[in-house]
Amino acid sequence: MWHIALFNVLMLVASTYALGWGGAPERVFALMSIVALAASIHVHHDGFLKLDVSLFLVDLAFFCALYLLSIFSTRFWPIWMTGLQGLTVLSHAVILAPPPSAAGYAILEQFWAWPMEILLIVATVRHRRRLTSKGTDRPWTVSFWRSEQPNPR
Amino acid sequence: MDALRIGRLTEAQRVALRHFMARKTAKQIALELGITPKAVELRLKGARDVLGVSTSAEAARILANAEQNETFRETLGGKTEVANSTLSGSSSSIESESGEAGEARDRKVLSEARTAFAHQPNRWQAGIGWPLGDGDKRNDLSLGARLLWPFLAICGIGVSIGTLVICGSVLSLAVLAIVHAIR
């Protein structure tokens, strides 16, 4: 189970970095991912031999939270995080497809969390760079008006 | 004004000029864009240099003229008369001219605007945008694009990784078959 230990270390590093040095979206994501991981561990008991509805609901809730984050954040990365989490949600369908594969289900269900944690580190690094170069980095979209106009004045 | 100069303005300079045209101060613009007032001043100065004018107001007016946008874009398809009438209206609000001189000026500005907009993306491209930044760019996608992009990302990433996995598997099988055949 070395990969679980490695992932936990990666998540610890990424979340600590984001919580300590990230902007508001990075911190919100770090908190959400910790809550989602804790909830996943709490509800998941049966291995990956059949569809885990509780785990599916946790993944779906995380996806919805990320979707909201991607709408209101001034960053691009939440869009990609939402995409990766969407694939985690879709991976639950693997166990329903014939022939059901417990190994495939387990791999796909957990695989997408790796790039998400790496992306979080990259996002925090970029946030720090913007802070250094501009002095500020607005976290949330105040209004969608400007972006909806082709050529606003 | 050389239309090529308008085309040389960066998007950051255009945004600063649009805000300036809306009678906002450098401090207000800075707050809205999440940058420092000094950076706003630099963008406005850069725009003035590119356009070869001495005041930001003049630079903003030039850009605003060029961005009498929707009608101008239609004129690219040949609806010249509509654009001309709109342009004449906007021109007269800036500087009252009449006769041949005024018409010549309108024709010139129309020609400049066509050139300036010829390289710009159409409404769909401008609306959907790409959710990619260089680290400096802020997410300025429209609400519709933000709602849509996560699902496009799911499809894109899923198809890409799926294709890689399938190609990898086929390649592995092919290598195994070749090795088996050689032995």
In contact, B94 and B68? CB cutoff 8 Å: no
The pLDDT assigned to B71 comes to: 46
pLDDT-above-70 percentage for chain B: 66
B122, B143, B175 - which closes a domain: B122
Q: Does B162 touch chain A (CB under 8 A)?
A: no
Q: Which tens digits make up the pLDDT trace of B132-178?
A: 877 777 888 888 888 999 999 999 998 988 888 888 889 989 999 99
Task: Assess whether the previous peptide bond of A99 is cis (omega < 30° from 0).
Answer: yes
End-to-end CA distance of chain B: 76
ipTM of the complex: 0.81
**B160 and B111 inside one domain:** no
CB contact under 8 A, A90 and B139: no
B100, B122, B144 - which closes a domain: B122
Examine the pLDDT at B38 and tell me if it is beyond 50.
yes
Residue type for A62, please? F
The pLDDT assigned to A50 comes to: 87
**B58 and B147 inside one domain:** no
Query: What angle, 0 to 180 degrees and rounded to 10, lies between the N-to-C axes of helices A77-90 and A24-43?
Result: 10
Residue type for B65, please? N
**B75 and B16 inside one domain:** yes
Q: Rounded to an integer, what distance in angstroms lies between the CA atom of residue A122 and that of residue A80?
A: 12
Q: Does B34 touch chain A (CB under 8 A)?
A: yes
**B112 and B167 inside one domain:** no
The sign of the dihedral angle between the CA atoms of B124, B126, B128, B132 is: positive
**B117 and B127 inside one domain:** no
In angstroms, the Cα distances linking A114 to A3, A76, A104 are 10, 18, 16
The pLDDT assigned to B122 comes to: 45
In angstroms, the Cα distances linking A118 to A17, A18, A113, A122, B50 are 11, 11, 9, 6, 40
The pLDDT assigned to A71 comes to: 93
Examine the pLDDT at B63 and tell me if it is beyond 80.
yes
In contact, B113 and B72? CB cutoff 8 Å: yes
The pLDDT assigned to A117 comes to: 96
**B15 and B32 inside one domain:** yes
Residue B13, Cα to own-chain centre: how many angstroms?
11
Q: Does A7 touch chain B (CB under 8 A)?
A: no
3-state secondary structure of B60: helix
The pLDDT assigned to A48 comes to: 86
The pLDDT assigned to B106 comes to: 62
**B55 and B137 inside one domain:** no
**B130 and B100 inside one domain:** no
> Which one of A76, A142, A152 has the shortest CB-CB distance to B131?
A76
Examine the pLDDT at B24 and tell me if it is beyond 90.
no
B105, B122, B139 - which closes a domain: B122
Q: Rounded to an integer, what distance in angstroms lies between the CA atom of residue A30 and that of residue A27?
A: 5
Q: What is the dihedral of CA B8, B14, B20, B25, to 10 degrees?
A: -110
Of the candidates A54, A34, A56, the residue with the CA atom closest to the CA atom of residue A45 = A54
**B99 and B129 inside one domain:** no
In contact, A55 and A40? CB cutoff 8 Å: yes
The pLDDT assigned to B73 comes to: 53
> Which one of A86, A138, A142 has the shortest CB-CB distance to B154?
A86
Q: Which tens digits make up the pLDDT trace of B87-126?
A: 444 444 444 445 566 666 666 666 665 555 544 444 444 4
pTM reported for the whole predicted model? 0.60
Q: What's the burial of B139, exposed, middle or buried (CB within 10 Å: 0-12/13-18/19+)? A: buried
Query: For tokens 């369908």, what's the residue?
Result: A93
The pLDDT assigned to B103 comes to: 66
Which of B19, B140, B154 best tests the A interface by mutation, with the highest count of A CBs <10 A?
B154
Q: Rounded to an integer, what distance in angstroms lies between the CA atom of residue A44 and that of residue A140?
A: 34
Q: Structural domain of residue B128, as residue ranges?
A: 123-183
Q: In sequence order, what are the residues at sequence separation of 6 or more whose Cβ sits closer than 8 angstroms to the Cβ of residue B24?
A: B32
Examine the pLDDT at B16 and tell me if it is beyond 80.
yes
**For chain B, what is the domain count?**
2
The pLDDT assigned to A136 comes to: 81
Q: Which tens digits make up the pLDDT trace of A30-61?
A: 999 999 999 999 998 778 888 899 999 999 99
The pLDDT assigned to B84 comes to: 47
pLDDT under 70: residue ranges of chain A: 145-153
CB contact under 8 A, A153 and B22: yes
Which of A136, A147, A149 best tests the B interface by mutation, with the highest count of B CBs <10 A?
A147
In angstroms, the Cα distances linking B136 to A117, A128, B34, B117 are 21, 11, 11, 25
- A115 compared with B128, residue with greater pLDDT: A115
The pLDDT assigned to B3 comes to: 73
Q: Rounded to an integer, what distance in angstroms lies between the CA atom of residue A7 and that of residue A110?
A: 10
The pLDDT assigned to A24 comes to: 95
**B141 and B116 inside one domain:** no
Taking 3-state DSSP, the helix, strand and coil percentages for chain A, each rounded to the nearest 5, stand at 75, 0, 25
